[in-house]
Amino acid sequence: MTFKPQSKNKVFFVLLLLFAFLATPDANAQRKKRNKDKKGDTEKVAPKKKSTEKSIADLTKKSKKIEGLFTIYQDTITGSLQMVVTKEQLEKEFIYFSQIKDGVSEVGAFRGAYRGSKIFTLKKYFNKIEFVAKNTSYYFDPNSALSKSAEANISEGVMASLKIEATDKEKGLYLIKADAIFLKETLSQIKPPRFPGRGPFSFSLGNLDKGKTKINAIKNYPENTDLVIEYVYSKPSVLNGGSNAVTDGRNVTIKVNHSLIQVPDNTYMARYDDPRVGYFTTQVTNMTTPSVTPYKDLIHRWHLEKKDPAAAVSEPVEPITWWIENTTPLEYRETIKEGVLRWNIAFEKAGFKNAMVVKVQPDDAEWDAGDVRYNVLRWTSSPRPPFGGYGPSFVNPRTGQILGADVMLEYVHQTNRVIYDKLFETMSAFSYEDIDKAENELQKFNKQYNYCSLGHLMHENSVFGNTALTLMNASEDEKEVLRNEGLTHLIMHEVGHTLGLNHNMKSSQLHSPAQLADKNYIQGKALTGSVMDYEAINVTNDRTQQGHYFTTTLGPYDLWAIEFGYKPVTTYKELDDILKRSTEPELIFGNDADDMRSPGKAIDPRVMVGDLSNDQITYSVNRINLVNEMTAKLRTKYSDYGKSYQELVVAYSILQGQKSSALNVISRFIGGIYVDRAMQGQVGGTQPYTPVSYADQKRAMKALKDYLFAPNANDVPKDLYTHLARQRRGFNFFGGPEDPKIHSAALRRQMGVLYHILHPNTLQRIVDSELYGNEYKLPEYMRDLNKAIFNADINTSVNSFRQNLQLAYTDMLIQMLTGKVSGRFSNVAKSMAIYNLKTIRRFAANNLGDLGTKAHKMHLKTLIDNAMKEIK
Ligand SMILES: [Zn+2]
């Protein structure tokens, strides 16, 4: 009822405004004058006003002064902040960086998470100070006239505009209130946006609660001003209160460390990215060059300067100093230190001795790991480990110089617990439509923060290794070797990230399967070209030939990449000479963007995770055979009197995981293309694209037929199923029935591969690459696949695993023709789908087999007949 009068008032107000605008300029001027007079009058009447203009000293007398890069005053009664900006600081560039001090992993805000750095400047606009974020993505050659238009269509971000509360003209100081900068999300967004597709029942933060948000600490140094702010997000009620780690879903705290940092003034020279080697970069585009590759992407690297520039190898003026956090279990510290220092071998080749130094944070240290001045090897045991290991660094966005880094490690990865367990999940209905969705979202998220999943993979590998050793009756000492190698590898890998290196998922091609299974040959050698890979654990089928489980030595690629990034050079030619070696087989490189872990994503089967050796098919088949042997022994080995069956469940799950991983590696050869990123004319370079040979694609198909699709592919001893029981904890079986979901787990493994080999991208590539050398043509491939899934039991009874597989596969063929994604398939693929469906229809019509098989065949016939009616 009150709505109408209000809106009438609104209309009246608008009319009034309109009138004001339409009024003559004279009238406006008069009004302005009147206002001015009024002001003047007050000044005259109350001359005190002028003297009440307070000085900085007046406004800060109740405050504690904290001096540093930006002097901060904190009110001793209310805690509110004021900040001094000096005249010299105006228009100067500063670096802003933030990291999560503590939070909840549900929203990606976990301890130690880096939030990136940016350049900002302070500008004075009349009586205000502005905080303006600068765009660093473009380069304009100052000698080009175009540089005068450098600001065209490039948006700056005005983050805050704050009134100057007091001025000291003599010293050139301006005082502003700073609560609005630090107690809000002014400098960076903290509460993440909701991912599209996440329903209203997913966990999310409430609104920023100004009343509860507060300052935890202020640390001021000559080169950086740091503030730790505790942000509280509140809402009155929640649908989803989050995990156990969230104490009260209505009031969630995220602590953020903000750093305002002086831009370093040094002799650092930016170095530019090259496609043949893998560094993290800050992307910069040259806007004043006619080049087709106007890239001036800055690689991220530390500022190392030789103490003695004339020496071939010299200590650096300032080494990269690491601190082992005082939370680190004592028994790991030596291994961690050694792992870090192994990188010094690479730096020596680049001309630096003792480039890395490792110290231990004293238990009574007055600084904590969140302090940007320290690079810390951190250790946590958190409830929901958000990463496998994490080696973030932050840079000066203008140059790419790394200014600080940490390594985060999670205790759970040193244990034999399994974090994710698919064995007890039922498989949701399969749909081609979801084929890209889930993966892409995750990848984008990971890419944004450069997360590393190696810890998760290493953990699975370690548990597998441990299971293998248990089954082989190995001693505790042997298990200790495995643990140490795993931890060393993980440390070296994460430290590699902090040196600027991104992943090299192609480097596991270094040795042949026979070499890896030769103890004498492999001893002391790197297993892969780079520690920056996600390779399989090297467990040999023949136990007497067991060498290294994990790579614990820098590979040739690592040495070469550090040389490219860090060797002091004076000419581009020196760098080019290093880059020209990229065609050496042991320096082969491909990063996450090229890796094939997601179905349909990339093209080179050598750029894969969970693989090892230069014959991945053979190595993977060996692994599957080993897993099958181990599975048969599980029950007798895991029979500790008095214990529950939890360990057996873990061991079984991890074996199945290894099998899935091996099968995925094999599947990537079908329709695969080898990529060569050598520059034209480079010695040793081939053509950019070479299809996988006919023989290898056939070999991959045969392996999938024998180890994934065959009627006996999922056989395990029956008495294993009767013992796959998790230990009950409280009411945890309320989440779903507790029995192992055996068929779901088997089908998930098969579908994981089918997702890739029937992905529209893969099928399209098979046809396209027939034009440039692929001899395993689509019709032959699709017919082979059909045979692999149907031929073995055409004339006999079809077991329940095969029935599931045959139906799911038939449904995929139908979706290629009539599903929502059918538009993504070429006509060649669709024709073969029809051909295969008709073949299946013919098989199904033979009506042989037991009653269940007859019903299954009737099911197939019904699906196909109905689908055929829909095909236009
Ligand atoms: Zn990594």
Domain residues of the chain, as ranges? 56-263
Q: How far is the CA of 192 from the centre of ligand 1 (A)?
A: 23
The SS3 call for residue 94 is: strand
Query: Residue 413: which of 501, 494, 507 has the closest Cα?
Result: 494
Q: How far is the CA of 418 from the centre of ligand 1 (A)?
A: 20
pLDDT value, residue 293: 92
CA angle 608, 612, 617 (to 5 degrees): 80
Ranges assigned E (strand) in 126-204: 128-133, 138-139, 157-168, 173-177
pLDDT value, residue 364: 95
Please give the share of the chain, as a percent, with pLDDT higher than 70: 87
DSSP tally for the chain: helices H, then strands E: 24, 23
Q: How far is the CA of 372 from the centre of ligand 1 (A)?
A: 22
In SS3 terms, 832-843 reads as HHHHHHHHHHHH
Q: What amino acid occupies position 697?
A: Q
Q: How far is the CA of 256 from the centre of ligand 1 (A)?
A: 24
Dihedral sign for Cα 648, 652, 653, 658, please: positive
Q: How far is the CA of 531 from the centre of ligand 1 (A)?
A: 9
pLDDT value, residue 71: 96
For residue 535, the 8-state DSSP code is P
Q: Show Cβ contacts of residue 102 under 8 Å, excluding neighbours closer than 6 positions.
A: 111, 253, 254, 255
Report DSSP letters for 784-798, one per residue: HHHHHHHGGGTTSPP
Ranges assigned E (strand) in 669-714: 673-675, 689-691
Q: How far is the CA of 503 from the centre of ligand 1 (A)?
A: 6
Q: How far is the CA of 833 from the centre of ligand 1 (A)?
A: 40
Contact 99, 108 (CB under 8 A): no
The label of the residue with tokens 């029995």 reads 739
Q: How far is the CA of 657 from the centre of ligand 1 (A)?
A: 20
| CA–CA separation, 277 and 334 (whole Å) | 31
pLDDT value, residue 442: 43
Q: Which two tokens stand for residue 303?
A: 């500022």
Residues with CB under 5 A from ligand 1 (ion): 452, 454
Q: How far is the CA of 340 from the centre of ligand 1 (A)?
A: 15
Q: How far is the CA of 633 from the centre of ligand 1 (A)?
A: 34
Contact 154, 138 (CB under 8 A): yes
Q: How far is the CA of 383 from the centre of ligand 1 (A)?
A: 21
Which residues of the chain register pLDDT less than 50? 1-46, 49, 429, 438-443, 445-446
Q: How far is the CA of 779 from the centre of ligand 1 (A)?
A: 39
Q: How far is the CA of 593 from the centre of ligand 1 (A)?
A: 13
Whole-model pTM?
A: 0.88
Q: How far is the CA of 497 from the centre of ligand 1 (A)?
A: 7
pLDDT value, residue 114: 81
pLDDT value, residue 195: 63
Phi-psi region of 850 (alpha: psi -120 to 50; beta: other; left: phi over 0): beta
